[in-house]
A and B are shown apart, each in its own frame.
Chain A
Amino acid sequence: NAGVTQTPKFRVLKTGQSMTLLCAQDMNHEYMYWYRQDPGMGLRLIHYSVGEGTTAKGEVPDGYNVSRLKKQNFLLGLESAAPSQTSVYFCASSSTGTSGGASSYNEQFFGPGTRLTVL
């Protein structure tokens, strides 16, 4: 049981290049999220998904696109990278509802993070 995994772990891009970050979870969670973490800013939600084939914008969606073609995978794309997108990106997943009568209350399970530098 790997939990939440992210690839790649590190990446350096030049301004204008594109890339895709992959998040995978094996916990059968319905909800998946992409956050970015910047010094002094905490975790900010980029996009999220409440199920296969659905996506929604979070707090800071501009410059990013996402897709959830399979329940276990959530892709984050940067079409034209900018230096302002230099950050650490975390994927998370959570379960919707009840298991054995106890709700998960949207407890987040995080991946190890991807450190992205845009030059």
Chain B
Amino acid sequence: ILNVEQSPQSLHVQEGDSTNFTCSFPSSNFYALHWYRWETAKSPEALFVMTLNGDEKKKGRISATLNTKEGYSYLYIKGSQPEDSATYLCAFPTSYDKVIFGPGTSLSVIP
């Protein structure tokens, strides 16, 4: 059974702090790795789709790195703001048609 793990489960940081989370996925048969941002009472939206070992993507204060050989990805948020409060999901396509989601990391940014 393929498993996608995320840590930590939840995180509380002060406004202005930088933070990072981890996603672990199977290192064999790698196709892609997705990061989604999921705000309360909304639906998940894709942040990054990562495909190459060593990939680094950036969107504003949020960036992500990918290591396909060891099966992990890091998501970094620089200078957290209250509007960054959300659950961050990573997802691992197991084939061309299915995706397995991790349990998510819930981030709360305290003003």
| B98→A108 contact, CB < 8 A | no
Q: At the interface with chain A, which of B15-23, B45-53, B59-67?
A: B45-53
- Identity of the chain A residue whose Cβ is nearest the Cβ of B1 in the assembled complex: A59
26 A-B contact pairs sorted by A residue (CB < 8 Å): A33-B99, A41-B103, A42-B89, A42-B101, A42-B102, A42-B103, A43-B44, A43-B89, A48-B98, A50-B97, A94-B99, A96-B96, A105-B31, A105-B34, A105-B49, A106-B31, A106-B32, A106-B34, A106-B96, A106-B98, A106-B99, A107-B34, A107-B46, A108-B91, A110-B44, A113-B43
- A90-B104 contact given A43-B89, A50-B97, A105-B49, CB 8 Å threshold: no
Tell me the chain B residues, 52-111 only, with Cβ under 8 Å from chain A. Answer: 89, 91, 93, 96-104
B44 contacts across to A, CB distance below 8 A: 43, 90, 108, 110
Whether A16 is near chain B, meaning CB under 8 Å from some CB there, is no
- Contact partner, B93, options A44, A90, A106, A113, Cβ 8 Å: A106
- Contact partner, B99, options A50, A90, A108, A113, Cβ 8 Å: A108
Rounded to whole angstroms, the CA-CA distance of A58 and B101 in the bound complex is 13
Rounded to whole angstroms, the CA-CA distance of A41 and B31 in the bound complex is 24
Given contacts A42-B101, A43-B44, A105-B31, 5 further A-B contacts (CB under 8 A): A45-B98, A56-B97, A105-B51, A106-B34, A110-B44
- A112-B34 contact given A41-B103, A43-B89, A45-B98, CB 8 Å threshold: no
B46 contacts across to A, CB distance below 8 A: 107-109
| B43→A90 contact, CB < 8 A | yes
- Identity of the chain B residue whose Cβ is nearest the Cβ of A51 in the assembled complex: B97
Number of interface residues of A (CB under 8 A): 26
Looking at the assembled complex, report how far the CB atom of A3 sits from the nearest CB atom of chain B, in whole angstroms. Answer: 10
Tell me the chain A residues, 74-109 only, with Cβ under 8 Å from chain B. Answer: 90, 94, 96, 104-109
B93 contacts across to A, CB distance below 8 A: 105-106
Rounded to whole angstroms, the CA-CA distance of A58 and B93 in the bound complex is 13
B98 contacts across to A, CB distance below 8 A: 45, 48, 58, 106
Rounded to whole angstroms, the CA-CA distance of A103 and B51 in the bound complex is 10
Rounded to whole angstroms, the CA-CA distance of A56 and B97 in the bound complex is 10
